[in-house]
Structure 1
Amino acid sequence: MTSYMDEEANLIKSCLPPEASPPEDVDTLFLLYALLMRAKGADVTPADIHDAWSVWMQIEGKSHAALRPFGDLDRETQEEDLPYVEAIKRAVNIRKTSSTP
């Protein structure tokens, strides 16, 4: 069964730039991004993206050196979240445009 949140997650995926390389089996991660999109809209931040990714990593039972607060990450690691911020912002704009009478 596909829900409205699946549709939002798929929209965000479709808005990713070609150079973005999300990990495999990311359906749950993109559902978290869909939640961010609905909760924060265009105000979503790289720290929000990182927090969602951290929750997803915990749910998946995975370990990673970047599993620490966003502010503790080096600049290069922080910048890895930017394509996802931009994808969510693009998706927000698409939703605004498609719902405008």
Structure 2
Amino acid sequence: MMTYLERDAELIRRCLPKGTAVPEDSDGLFLMYAVLLRAKGAEVQASDVHDAWSAWMIGVEPGHESVLPFDELDADTRGEDSPFLVAIRAAAALR
């Protein structure tokens, strides 16, 4: 039986734009995105998505070069959070 957070995580996955690259073994990441969905809904910002990704990445690859505050990232790296931001906002609209 799926928990409410797992259901929200699955909804976010379904809302991802086609062709979005999803990290392997990212169930924990999508649970963090589900918390963002519940806490911020459509008001979620790209920096929030990046913070969730950074928290997840610390457990996966602690020295990853993009584990930095959002405003310290270059524009291309910031853009990598965009499909997940779109998906969380779309999921919020469906909920």
TM-score range, shorter chain: over 0.9
Query: Whose Rg is larger?
Result: 1
Give the deviation of 1:47 after TM superposition: 0.4
Determine the C-alpha separation between the residues in 2 that align with 1:67 and 1:26.
16
Q: Gaps (5+ residues) in structure 1?
A: 96-101
Aligned match of 2:32:
32
Give 1:64 shift. Answer: 1.4
How many angstroms does 1:60 deviate by? 2.5
How far apart in 2 are the matches of 1:60 and 1:70?
19
Query: Structure 1 CA distance, aligned partners of 2:72 and 2:24?
Result: 25
1:99 alignment partner in structure 2: none
Aligned position for 1:64: 64
Matched position secondary structure for 2:19: coil
Aligned to 2:44: 44
* Equivalent AA in structure 2 for residue 16 of structure 1: L
**TM-score, normalised to structure 1's length?**
0.89
2:11 maps to 1:11: yes
Identity over aligned pairs, percent: 47
C-alpha distance in 1 between matches for 2:25 and 2:63: 16
Per-residue CA deviation, residues 57-78 of structure 1 (Å, 9 max, x unaligned), is: 1123443111111000000110
Letter in 2 for 1:11: L
Structure 1: which 4+ aligned runs deviate by more than 3 Å?
A: none
Structure 2, unaligned runs of 5 or more = none
Aligned residues: 95
Deviation at 1:12, TM superposition (A): 0.1
> How much is the aligned-residue C-alpha RMSD, in angstroms?
1.0
Residue in 2 that maps onto 1:93: 93
What letter is aligned with 2:39? Answer: A
In structure 1, the partner of 2:22 is 22
